[in-house]
Amino acid sequence: MSKNGDVRLAVRKMYKLYINGAFVRSESGRSDPLWDGKEFGANIARASRKDARDAVVAARSAQPGWWKMPAATRGLILYRLAEMMEARRGELTERIREGAECSETEAEREVTAAIDRTVWYAGWCDKYAALLSTRNPVGGPHFNFSSAEPMGVVVVCAPDRPALLGLVSVILPPVVAGNAVVVVASEFDPRTAIVFAEALATSDIPAGVVNVLSGYRAEIAPVMAKHMDVNAIVVPRGDPQLRDTVERESAENVKRVRLYPMRSREEWFAPSAQSLDDIAGFCEIKTIWHPAGV
């Protein structure tokens, strides 16, 4: 309340979409109210099909440059993302606490685990290719090499909970592998994903490499599955209706469909929730033949 008795209204945060390095409203103008118990929490932008297509265009444009960047540089950029998450620790903790209705201690624990996992994946950027590539034995005067290369554009439907650790765990493997990503944030409470997008925006990750949409999976995922410029789509194994729809719509252009398990909250904290195998799942193994010298 001001000195003259007037009631001051708080300036509420606007939660927008994050596409091509910019925060934008949905082109449809739609938004959904989010309630914290009985109190109004925020208006959340609801992505349309046009927004989803715009995000794919941004990702396709950004992906070649991201892949051609030196692997060590990609690792440093992801480490910078961890730094920005650390700088936003307080806000991330508050969003998780409100959305998951957990204690502040549990929310802080999740933020710490998400930052640590980001650092862990950053360290793999200049290492995974050496472990996934090989020289193959052949019965002729040739050399035969297999090398790991990115798929291209990957769409990820993030888990509802844990809002931050689950999000980081499913988007970093394709990003480390050199792909660009379009994320459909948690429907339950996408605010954490948007705050994470603000960390993305202030890190060194090039615009378009990671795009964050808030909205409904059932509306956006089928559009992405049909999209001919999307190379892979990631959905939760525990949603059979969504999985069946995505697999059916993805068949036309032989799009890869990746499934992640519906882990409990504690299982997302486990070491098994981060793996080199997760990175390998978003690589194309390309084989090269070369004649051997006489």
Residues 254-282 have pLDDT tens digits of 899 999 988 888 999 999 999 999 999 99
Q: Show the CA angle centred on residue 114, arms to residues 87 and 219, nearest 5°.
A: 105
Residue 2 is predicted with a pLDDT of 55
Please check whether residue 154 is in contact with residue 179, taking contact to mean a CB–CB distance below 8 angstroms: yes
Residue 221 is predicted with a pLDDT of 92
Per-residue pLDDT for 39 more than 80?
A: no
Residues 16, 47: Cα–Cα separation, whole Å: 9
Residue 1 is predicted with a pLDDT of 53
Residue found by looking up tokens 């765990």 in the block? 169
Pairs from 69-73 (Cβ < 8 Å, separation ≥ 24): 70/126, 71/125, 71/126, 71/129, 72/125, 72/126
Residue ranges of domains in the chain: 17-291
Residues 190, 40: Cα–Cα separation, whole Å: 15
Please check whether residue 89 is in contact with residue 82, taking contact to mean a CB–CB distance below 8 angstroms: no
222: β partners: none
Please check whether residue 190 is in contact with residue 217, taking contact to mean a CB–CB distance below 8 angstroms: no
Q: What is the mean pLDDT of residues 10-17?
A: 80
Which of 14 and 88 is assigned the larger pLDDT? 88
- Per residue in 161-192, pLDDT tens? 898 999 999 999 999 999 999 999 988 888 89
Residue 160 is predicted with a pLDDT of 87
233: β partners: 155, 257
Top CATH class, 17-291: alpha beta
Secondary structure (3-state) at 228: coil
pTM of this structure: 0.90
Strand 232-236 relative to strand 153-157, pairing: parallel
- Lowest mean pLDDT, pick from 56-65, 113-122, 169-178, 229-238: 229-238
Strand 153-157 relative to strand 142-150, pairing: unpaired
The secondary structure of 232-248 as a DSSP string is EEEEETT-HHHHHHHHH
Please check whether residue 212 is in contact with residue 89, taking contact to mean a CB–CB distance below 8 angstroms: no
